[in-house]
Amino acid sequence: MKESECPKCGGLECYREEADVGVGMVYGPYGCPECGWSDDDEYDFSEGKSHLDEKGNLLDQWGGCWPSESIMARAYRNSEQGRYLCLKGDNIK
């Protein structure tokens, strides 16, 4: 795991996934856990893009994809809905 500086927010905890596939290492894009920036435009969430794709799968800034029925994706959907309700003020009395 090699950490580097985020070009977006300056956070120092940017990293990329590494996997040993036998014939060598494969690397995912660099991603920042603080602002959601990714080296790969498709997975760059730093501008407020939703982590959910149209099927409800959860994408992360490291190029990962959690299936819509996975616990991660469900938790994220719940929290996003919670935030939305919060923004609308529905649960603030």
Residues in touch with Zn ion (CB under 5 A) = 6, 8-9, 11, 32, 34-35, 37
Closer residue to Zn ion in complex, CB, 11/29: 11
The minimum distance between CB 3 and Zn ion, in angstroms, equals 12
Nearest distance from C-beta of residue 89 to Zn ion, angstroms: 29
Please state the closest distance from residue 43 (CB atom) to Zn ion, in A: 13
Q: What is the 3 state secondary structure string of the chain?
A: CCCECCCCCCCCCEECCEEECCCCEEECCCECCCCCCECCHHHCCCCCCCCECCCCCEECCCCCEECCCCHHHHHHHHHHHHHHHHHHCCCCC
